[in-house]
Amino acid sequence: MEEKQNIGLLFDRIAGSYDRLNHLLSLNIDRRWRRKAVRGMDVHHHILDVAIGTADLSIELLRQGKTQHITGIDLSEEMMERGKEKVREGVDFVLGSALDMPFENEQFDAVTCAYGVRNFSDLDQGLREMYRVMKVGGELMILEFSYPSQRLIAWGYDLYFSHILPKIGRAISHDPTAYTYLNRSVKHFIWGEEMCEHLRSAGFAAVSCHPLTFGITTIYRAHKYEMA
């Protein structure tokens, strides 16, 4: 998808309205998804939040006491500027690509990513980088959109994502392309067991997926263990 090559610029353009639109378009259910995803995690000394954006996931990690030290990386400087306005302390923001992260091997105790992996221009490279920078014994948590399995729910989901969401997104963000891209990025991305296979191929073990809200979003969990 061509937009993925310039994903940082795309999110720079909508950074000012991103949080408001996220909560509006999800009817605030996105807050519940983050709470549930974080609740299932262990406590860690140092967490890497990939595609940190405006820092909503990092804020939830701190709120639930899962860590006191987060490093967040993102390609969008404007999104991170909004995040910095919301975070008092505990988070360091780094401008950079998830496909080539400027971190040492085995630097972090856990890695998280909320609604970011579908924007990677190379999913497998991004997952390998997450594995590389994670310590042995570390925990991975990814929260990402997926696709409902029930036919009626899927029909309504398609209608909302294809026709309603882009119109609302354009009206509020004044960007003619960003929320059309969001629709396509979700419809063309993988989910469920196929995503789990990519995680295993990157080296992760104990991989699991947990669909939420009729399968509209999915929590993926995995670990990094010593090689046998």
Predicted pLDDT of residue 191: 94
In terms of Cα–Cα distance, which of 156, 141, 139 is closest to 215?
156
How confident is residue 168, by pLDDT bands cut at 50, 70 and 90? Answer: confident
Q: Is the pLDDT of residue 178 over 70?
A: no
pLDDT tens track for 139-154: 999 999 998 888 898 8
Class for domain 2-223, per CATH?
alpha beta
**What is the Cα–Cα distance from 107 to 224, expressed in whole angstroms?**
13
- Tell me the β-bridge partners of 112: 49, 141
Predicted pLDDT of residue 3: 56
How many residues make up the chain in this entry? Answer: 228
Average pLDDT over residues 190-197: 96
**What is the Cα–Cα distance from 137 to 61, expressed in whole angstroms?**
19
Q: Is the pLDDT of residue 84 over 50?
A: yes
Average pLDDT over residues 117-122: 95
Predicted pLDDT of residue 1: 47
Find all residues with CB under 8 Å of 143, minimum gap 6, and list them: 33, 34, 37, 57, 112, 113, 114, 115, 217, 218, 219, 220
SS (H, E, C) the chain: CHHHHHHHHHHHHHHHHHHHHHHHHCCCHHHHHHHHHHHCCCCCCCEEEECCCCCHHHHHHHHCCCCCCEEEEECCHHHHHHHHHHCCCCEEEEECCCCCCCCCCCCEEEEEEECCHHHCCCHHHHHHHHHHHEEEEEEEEEEEECCCCCHHHHHHHHHHHHHHHHHHHHHHHCCCCHHHHHHHHHHCCCCCHHHHHHHHHCCCEEEEEEEEHHHCEEEEEEECCCCC
Angle, helices 123-133 vs 193-201, to 10°: value is: 50
Domain ranges of the chain: 2-223
Average pLDDT over residues 212-222: 95
Average pLDDT over residues 108-122: 96
Q: Is the pLDDT of residue 228 over 80?
A: no
Q: Is the pLDDT of residue 2 over 60?
A: no
Predicted pLDDT of residue 70: 98
Q: Is the pLDDT of residue 187 over 90?
A: no
% of the chain residues with pLDDT over 70: 94
Which pair of tokens denotes residue 90?
């505990």
pLDDT tens track for 26-82: 778 999 999 999 999 999 999 999 999 999 999 999 999 999 999 999 999 999 999
Q: Is the pLDDT of residue 162 over 90?
A: no
Q: What is the mean pLDDT of the chain?
A: 90
Average pLDDT over residues 168-173: 73
Predicted pLDDT of residue 107: 98
